[in-house]
Amino acid sequence: MHTAFSITGILILLFFRLQAEAQIVIPLYEGETPNSRPHENKEEHKANDQVDSLAYKVSVPTLTLFLPEKGMANGTAVIVCPGGGYGGLLTKREGSDVARAFNRMGVAAFVLKYRLPSDETMVDRSIGPLQDAQKAISQVRKNAAKWGVNPAKIGIMGFSAGGHLASTTGVHFSRPAGPGLDSGEIRPDFMLLINPVISFRKEFGHQGSKDNLLGKSASSEKTDYFSSELQISENTPPTFLVHNGTDIVVPVENSLAFYKGLRKYRIPAGLHIYSKGEHGFLTYPSFDEWFGRCLEWMRAGNFLPLQ
């Protein structure tokens, strides 16, 4: 009888743990997706031994909710934008894994599966991802009470090209890219940029991300518009950046340039550069190392409660 009780108790605990880790996937838009051409949904997923499964040809954007247990929730929320050079999305390593880590800290996380630029599925490929990111911020803010979120503590996080997307939300919120969006609803309260693509300029910009988003014949005006270091203003949100100095895919100058621009406007910012490691932090630094520094910056900025 004691054994049966123990097994039952374990099953109940497992049930509630699974419930706490359950994810809810919702459409990003109700009804028609803006800037979308009539098309067949050709989204596909492929395994990758080095990182994880990758999503390709994403044309139907979604938001996946990861909500912490009510007793742990502190009101902070982070929208997570996976990377992939605007050609794919690392939705596990740079999405659900990070979201669950935030949940353990009492933070609500929302993984954005944003549309990947395509002339086949979009009228204007250059603004599709930004429309989705702005809409995600708006959705979380409008549903803040429902999801246990403080509407003044909604941040955005991005990895690599997802970092570029996240940064564009922080420099272009005054110019909504989609219909029905209000500039006051789409400004992130803080940004977390992880080995981010920031610039599309030739000096140190990431050419692959630029070509995928803007096309190979983009004008200098459009290139500058989507080079976030050139678009910083006094209203750009506080930002944390982390990068590897030895990153040969996305040079560290991307983070340095953005940090320098933030300093010019006296915007609270943190920057950590590691002396070794590759793009994506595949071997160094460890997740706990860089994520711990991210959390500490959030505490210092009052985006997380002090421990």
Look at the block and give the residue holding tokens 């983070």: 255
**What average pLDDT score do residues 33-51 get?**
87
Q: What percent of the chain has pLDDT over 70?
A: 92
* pLDDT over 90 (residue 11): no
pLDDT tops 70 at residue 21: no
Residues ≥6 apart with Cβ < 8 Å to 204? 251, 253, 254, 257
pLDDT digits (tens, 9 = 90+) for 137-170: 999 999 999 999 999 999 999 999 999 999 999 9
Q: Which pLDDT does position 188 carry in this prediction?
A: 98
- Res 3 pLDDT > 70: no
Beta-bridge partners for 155: 78, 190
Tell me the average pLDDT across 100-124.
97
Confidence of residue 83 (pLDDT cuts 50, 70, 90): very high
pLDDT in tens, 188-224: 999 999 999 999 999 999 999 999 999 999 999 999 9
Average pLDDT over the chain, rounded to whole? 92
Helix (H) or strand (E) holding 145: helix 144-147
Distance CA 62, CA 142 (A): 16
Angle at alpha carbon of residue 151, lines to 147 and 198, rounded to 5° = 105
Backbone angles phi, psi at 258, to 5 degrees: -70, -40
DSSP string for residues in 157-220: EEETHHHHHHHHHHHSTTS-SSTT--TTTS--SEEEEES-----STTT--HHHHHHHH-TT--H
**Which run of H or E residues covers position 5?**
helix 2-21
Q: Residue 9: is its pLDDT beyond 50?
A: no
Distance CA 234, CA 285 (A): 32
**pLDDT at position 48 over 80:** no
Q: What is the pLDDT of residue 53?
A: 76
User: What is the band of 20 on the pLDDT scale with cuts at 50, 70, 90?
Assistant: very low
User: Rounded to whole angstroms, how far apart are CA atoms 67 and 140?
Assistant: 12
Q: What is the pLDDT of residue 51?
A: 61
Q: 């930002």: which residue's tokens?
A: 239
Count the helix, strand and coil residues of the chain and give each as a percent rounded to the nearest 5: 35, 15, 50
Predicted confidence (pLDDT) at residue 1 exceeds the cutoff of 60: no
3-state secondary structure labels for all residues of 229-285: HHCCCCCCCCEEEEEECCCCCCCCHHHHHHHHHHHHCCCCEEEEEECCCCCCCCCCC
Q: Please provide the CATH number assigned to the domain covering 25-32+42-300.
A: 3.40.50.1820
Segment (H or E) for 108:
strand 108-113
Strand partners, 157: 80, 192
Longest dimension (CA), the chain: 75
pLDDT bracket for residue 117 (50, 70, 90): very high
Q: Are 90 and 159 in contact (CB under 8 A)?
A: yes
Region 289-298 average pLDDT: 98
Cβ-based neighbours of 218, under 8 Å, separated by 6 or more: 126, 200, 210
Tokens 């009101």 identify what position?
75
DSSP state, residue 47 = -
Name the nearest CA neighbour of 192 among 271, 250, 286, 246. Answer: 271
297 pLDDT higher than 90:
yes
> Of the ranges 35-49, 86-100, 101-115, 200-214, which one carries the lowest mean pLDDT score?
35-49
Question: By the 8 A CB rule, do 128 and 40 touch?
Answer: no
Token output for 280: 């994506």
Res. 275: pLDDT tops 70 = yes
